Amino acid sequence: MRTHEQTVQTQFDPRAQAYLTSAVHAVGPDLERAQVLVSKAVPAAAQALDIGCGAGHLSFALAPYVARMLAFDPSPGMLAAVAQTAAAKGLTGVETRQGNAESLPFDDCTFQLVCTRYSTHHWTRLQEAVREMARVLAPGAHALVIDTLGHEDPLVDTFLQSIELLRDPSHVRNRSGREWRSLLQSAGLLERESAEWATRLDFASWAERMRTPAERVAVIRSLQEGAPREVCEALVLEPDGSFTIRTGLFWLQKSA
Ligand SMILES: C[S@@+](CC[C@H](N)C(=O)[O-])C[C@H]1O[C@@H](n2cnc3c(N)ncnc32)[C@H](O)[C@@H]1O
């Protein structure tokens, strides 16, 4: 029987190229907003940490605004893709390191920016991980959390988490905006700005990116076909299974 950590590696290691070229990950209004926020508030000499960097899209977007961007992820396959792409892009400030969000191998107050994008829904001990983010941040420094959100309505939320887990066994949970605010506040991270966007997921590429087995795709499609109207409307469910979720951005500051 595998641990969750092993499942994460099995899921992500062979899929670095799929994430590197994924349109959902490579571009987005969240990346543009992140660049504006970081360029305005984070010093150019900053040491930055990108937790769950995946194929590196957030690291690459923010690297030009900081002195050093440490791309951090448990998957060696993802880290190899980041190193190769950073070299090809001439982003000399990008470095890589393997590890998990729940126990960061860094001293207190090391970073002037800690960021994470589309990764926290895989983390098993989110409260500990958010405390770790706050611990490694310097006083007064900023954190940026971007991820797909869960729903406040339990009917919609259970449906969403179910299809996410069927598609990818490394999925843990999309948290709602309310859950996020409570977690971040209890870790001492003060909200300075938040935003939400609709993110449309094309069914075929969403399943293909994780190489979801055909029998699981069939279960997802069967759940979708029987979905109640509330779920269809909230997730903007389309005839081919494509659907729309919300992406949340939280811009935070550790008290000085
Ligand atoms: C969808 S990818 C991230 C996408 C990327 N941040 C971007 O901007 O395109 C999710 C990543 O989270 C990583 N991950 C999963 N569990 C993690 C954990 N506990 N700590 C840190 N990273 C984790 C996975 O290995 C994977 O590379």
Cα–Cα distance measured from residue 207 to residue 35, given in angstroms and rounded to the nearest whole number: 29
Task: Tell me what pLDDT residue 25 has.
Answer: 86
Question: Domains of the chain, with CATH numbers?
Answer: 4-150+170-200+246-254 (3.40.50.150)
CB 150 within 8 A of CB 160: yes
Closest CA to 132 of 192, 54, 184: 184
Task: Tell me what pLDDT residue 26 has.
Answer: 87
Ligand 1: distance of its center to the CA of 45 in Å? 25
Rounded to two decimals, the pTM is: 0.97
Residues (pLDDT < 50) of the chain are none
Q: Is the CB of 123 under 6 A from ligand 1?
A: yes
The helix (H) or strand (E) run that includes residue 51 is: strand 47-51
Q: Is the CB of 46 under 6 A from ligand 1?
A: no
Cα–Cα distance measured from residue 74 to residue 97, given in angstroms and rounded to the nearest whole number: 8
Q: For the chain, first and last CA: distance in Å? A: 45
CA 78 to ligand 1: nearest atom: 27
Task: Tell me what pLDDT residue 16 has.
Answer: 85
* Backbone φ and ψ of 84, nearest 5°: -65, -45
**pLDDT tens sequence across 87-101:** 999 999 999 999 999
